[in-house]
Amino acid sequence: MIAPQPPLRLAIIGLGGTIATSQGAQGLEPTRLIEALLADLPVDTARVQLEPHNLALGPSASLDFDDVVRVAAQIRRSVAQGCSGAVVVQGTDTIEEVAFALELLLPSQIPVVVTGAMRSAAQLGADGPANLVAAIGVASVTSGAHGLLVVMNDEVHAARHVHKGHTTSPSAFTSGEAGLVGRWHEGVFVPMSGGLPELPKLHPNKGEWPRVALLKIGFGDDGALLDAIRAPQFQGCVLEAMGGGHVPAKMLHNIQRIAAEMPVILCSRTGEGRVCAHTYDYVGSERDLLQRGVFLGGQLSALKARITLVLALADDHRTIPVVFESFTR
């Protein structure tokens, strides 16, 4: 007679967000702990044992790098104590940033899924329970080969590609031209792509986090805002440039000055595709910016380039060009 297998153990980490809200006097407020979210979910407890941890209960817009480090530390502790992986439950405003930061901080072999909800339990069509069940299901069957994952609306996205593309729609999250990693279909994870390349793993030192400016460049921009970006108040800068990575010529003096003081990362404001490296050659083009000391952000959005730069600057053992080379291959 074959002995029954012990249930798989998953850490479920609650950080608040819309999925944890209830109706207050003036609007939705985060009030529900992770235990309340897990209650009555149709999860086979003989197969999966859920271990709840409440690390925050608030809006995800107020999460910071200290919170991300605490989440990563809790996941490592849980795995050391026998958990196979983790599900992080949070607000959707910063899912794309928190999930990507966790991928840079955690070993790739740990299955981690981040999820949330676009609609509260107090609203019609609440999507939180379905998203949470799907995230638990995906975390229980993946090995980490797909990288850190975001599960929303039965779609499974790679953290490095996903972004929130709508303010309120349940289908707000998309991976754009990179495509889905898979789907949650009839209670089963259906992969739609192979494994993803390993990302650099960063080990930031505790202490004050580096301050990295993020500037979106618009039509007719004269670069006046760049005057405020100076060392030592700032330690890095991300430029969300036009098209393939282009800026107005009148901004170049300030950009060159900043690049001499701190790392400057070039990204595109378009939302899809990677910045160019050697297509255009005019004043303000990517070739011109590279010659002025700017680094390419490759396929990274400006938000994720900023996450990478903050963590890389806090890691004394990693150099900025080597880290960002991973995203330009």
Q: Mind listing the pLDDT tens digit for each residue in 138-181? A: 999 987 778 899 999 999 999 999 999 999 999 999 999 888 99
pLDDT recorded at residue 11: 98
pLDDT digits (tens, 9 = 90+) for 20-63: 999 999 999 999 999 999 998 999 888 999 999 999 999 999 99
Task: Please tell me the predicted confidence (pLDDT) of residue 75.
Answer: 98
What is the pTM assigned to this prediction? 0.94
Residues ≥6 apart with Cβ < 8 Å to 216 = 240, 269, 302
The answer, yes or no, to whether residue 126 has pLDDT greater than 90, is yes
Radius of gyration of the chain measured on its C-alpha atoms: 21
Burial class of residue 55, CB neighbours in 10 A (0-12, 13-18, 19+): middle
> So what's the pLDDT on residue 259?
98
What is the crossing angle of helices 302-313 and 95-105, to 10°? 40
Mean pLDDT over the full length of the chain:
94
Contact 50, 8 (CB under 8 A): no
- Greater confidence (278 vs 196) lies with 278
Residue entry with tokens 């996941």: 75
pLDDT at residue 193 in the model: 77
DSSP result, 103-139 = HHHS-TTS-EEEE--SS-TTSTT--HHHHHHHHHHHH
Contact criterion met (CB below 8 Å) for 137 and 104: no
Question: What band does 195 get if pLDDT is binned at 50, 70 and 90?
Answer: confident
State the pLDDT at residue 150. Answer: 98
Task: Give the mean model confidence (pLDDT) for residues 207-217.
Answer: 95
Q: Quick: pLDDT tens for 76-125.
A: 999 999 999 999 999 999 999 999 999 999 999 999 999 999 999 999 99
Query: pLDDT band at residue 296, thresholds of 50, 70 and 90?
Result: very high
CA distance 225 to 258: 12
Q: What pLDDT, on a 0 to 100 scale, did the predictor assign at position 1? A: 53
Q: Roughly what angle, to the nearest 10 degrees, separates helices 95-105 and 65-80?
A: 50
Would you state the pLDDT for residue 3?
62
Choose among 62, 50, 44: nearest CA to 87.
Answer: 50
What domains, with CATH codes, occur in the chain?
A: 8-191 (3.40.50.1170), 212-325 (3.40.50.40)
C-alpha torsion sign, points 162, 166, 172, 178 = negative
Task: For residues 227-246, give the mean pLDDT.
Answer: 97
Q: What's the pLDDT at 234?
A: 98
pLDDT at 329: 77
- CA gap 159, 161 in Å, rounded: 5
Mean pLDDT, rounded, for 298-305 = 96
- Which amino acid is residue 133, in one-letter code? V
Query: Quick one: pLDDT at residue 6?
Result: 86
Percent residues over pLDDT 70 in the chain: 99
